[in-house]
């Protein structure tokens, strides 16, 4: 399945007792949808491409802006004005010629999510607002597709894994506003906060896709980039959750 060049490229991780050739082959046949190619999406996509992911679909409506270059690690000054999905695809294919990349330049909403989710094994949400994260959660619950949702702002990051028939994003954030009060555009984010959380999202995706690790299900990981602390908070399925309740009846 893997050719000689691929076996050489991935040899340092195939050497791991926990990550053997089976895990590598699982990753090479895995299909990921990435929502947003920003501060989280760029480092997450880069690590997954380097590690040997088979298929990546990326969706983002935006073009590269000067203010993106501080943290969006797949872009350079020559990309300014280009669609992010196109610049990202070009950068990722230079890193790894074997990864198949499907790009969609569009805003994500309830209307196009079912199509975007077609034949996807895991969704990585790196969008910057609650409305999108909520819509992605609902679509993943409906389609029974695992979702790894992450967010970063200022010096703080958070991430959780939402599995089919388990507690969902709305169970966790029951009374969230329609629009986030805090967004990068308004309050700022340190370059390394998104780099840490994007790498952590890719890391958790590798554990899930290659090794079947689901330890972040029904747990919210919180990373404090000022105190350099990390902790997890457990949460449970809300029997009254308007998103996932109907799925259990």
Residues that bind Zn ion (CB under 5 A): 168, 170-171, 241, 243-244
In the bound state with Zn ion, the residue whose beta carbon lies nearer, of 116 and 243, is 243
Map residue 79 onto helix, strand or coil.
helix
Q: What's the closest the beta carbon of residue 122 comes to Zn ion, in angstroms?
A: 18
Q: What's the closest the beta carbon of residue 124 comes to Zn ion, in angstroms?
A: 19
Residue 169: count of CB within 10 angstroms of its CB: 24
Tell me which residue has its CB nearest to Zn ion.
241
In the bound state with Zn ion, the residue whose beta carbon lies nearer, of 207 and 244, is 244
In the bound state with Zn ion, the residue whose beta carbon lies nearer, of 91 and 159, is 159
Map residue 201 onto helix, strand or coil.
helix
In the bound state with Zn ion, the residue whose beta carbon lies nearer, of 156 and 238, is 238
- CB distance 104 to 81 below 8 Å: no
Of 107, 110, 126, 109, give the one whose Cα is nearest residue 32: 126
In the bound state with Zn ion, the residue whose beta carbon lies nearer, of 83 and 164, is 164
Q: What's the closest the beta carbon of residue 210 comes to Zn ion, in angstroms?
A: 27
Q: What's the closest the beta carbon of residue 92 comes to Zn ion, in angstroms?
A: 33
In the bound state with Zn ion, the residue whose beta carbon lies nearer, of 42 and 171, is 171
- CB distance 89 to 101 below 8 Å: yes
Q: What is the CB-side half-sphere exposure of residue 244 using CA atoms within 13 A?
A: 24
Q: What's the closest the beta carbon of residue 172 comes to Zn ion, in angstroms?
A: 8
Give the integer Cα–Cα distance in Å for 39 and 189.
9
Q: What's the closest the beta carbon of residue 17 comes to Zn ion, in angstroms?
A: 36
Map residue 193 onto helix, strand or coil.
helix
Q: At what angle do helices 191-211 and 41-51 cross, to 10 degrees?
A: 40
Tokens 């969008």 belong to residue: 127
Kind and range of the H or E element at 103?
A: strand 100-104
């Amino acid at each position: 399945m893997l050719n000689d060049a691929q076996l050489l490229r991935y040899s340092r991780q195939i050497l791991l007792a926990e990550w053997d050739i089976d895990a590598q082959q699982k990753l090479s046949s895995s299909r990921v949808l990435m929502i947003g190619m920003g501060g989280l999406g760029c480092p997450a996509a880069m690590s997954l491409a380097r590690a040997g992911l088979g298929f990546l679909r990326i969706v983002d409506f935006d073009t590269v802006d000067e203010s993106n270059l501080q943290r969006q690690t797949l872009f350079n000054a020559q990309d300014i004005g280009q669609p992010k999905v196109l610049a990202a695809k070009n950068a990722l294919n230079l890193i790894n010629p074997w990864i198949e990349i499907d790009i969609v330049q569009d805003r994500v909403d309830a209307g196009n999510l079912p199509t975007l989710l077609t034949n996807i094994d895991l969704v990585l949400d790196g969008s910057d607002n609650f409305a999108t994260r909520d819509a992605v959660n609902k679509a993943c619950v409906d389609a029974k597709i695992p979702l790894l949702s992450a967010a970063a702002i200022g010096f703080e990051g958070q991430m959780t894994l939402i599995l089919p028939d388990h507690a969902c994003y709305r169970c966790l954030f029951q009374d969230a506003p329609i629009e986030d009060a805090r967004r990068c555009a308004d309050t700022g984010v340190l370059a390394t906060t998104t780099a840490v959380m994007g790498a952590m999202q890719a890391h958790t995706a590798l554990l899930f896709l290659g090794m079947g690790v689901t330890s972040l299900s029904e747990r919210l990981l919180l990373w404090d980039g000022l105190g350099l602390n990390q902790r997890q908070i457990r949460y449970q399925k809300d029997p009254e959750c308007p998103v996932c309740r109907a799925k259990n009846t």
